[in-house]
Structure 1
Amino acid sequence: MRKQFAATLAATMAVSAGLMGAAPAAAAQDGNPGPWEMPDVRGEILQRAIDSVLDVTGDVDLDLELRNRKDVREVINYTNWEVCAQAPRGGQNISPKAKRVILVVRRPNTRGC
């Protein structure tokens, strides 16, 4: 109930998401959200990775793109995928202007990214 995540899956495996939730305390205090430090989510289950990003960005409309480079299967159930690469990298800032995060995913227990 703390966050509502609505996603539209495009043919390019991109997901544009409108995200709603509680804003982080730092953003609420100074009234100027961002930049946000991107958590390192490589190796995490996709749903947990998305939750980690949302914990940092709060209620910002984030441009979240999912890329599946291993095969043509659609990314539907976020608990059945694992993050193998990300942009920005962990520790880098998520741009408050672009608000874009890219997560490259694969099925768990597969090789490569």
Structure 2
Amino acid sequence: MERVPCVYMLASGRNGTLYIGVTSNLIKRVSEHRQEAMDGFTKRYGIHDLVWYEVHETMETAISREKQLKKWDRRAKLRLIEQHNREWRDLWSDLTSPSMDTGPRHSLPG
């Protein structure tokens, strides 16, 4: 898969603990979180559900957006998730299934 800059949010469950990250390979990175391949925040708090992501043209804009989102208060982050994923579905299957058709914020080229 080609490198695609993305900002993403994981959650431990609906309205649970949130994690915001940035990557150029969303499938690989989320898989690492899900498999608890690395020690850290997401492993410690059981944060595995991909609840939101946003594709960017460049890594620079993705990093800038990640920093912006990390400054937001919790209510604003919850609103952003619910604007695009009202049910708090784990979007992992959307990423890994051959028919990704869930809208512009939830699809990767390729």
TM-score (structure 2 length as normaliser): 0.28
Higher helix share: 2
TM-score (structure 1 length as normaliser): 0.28
Higher strand share: 1
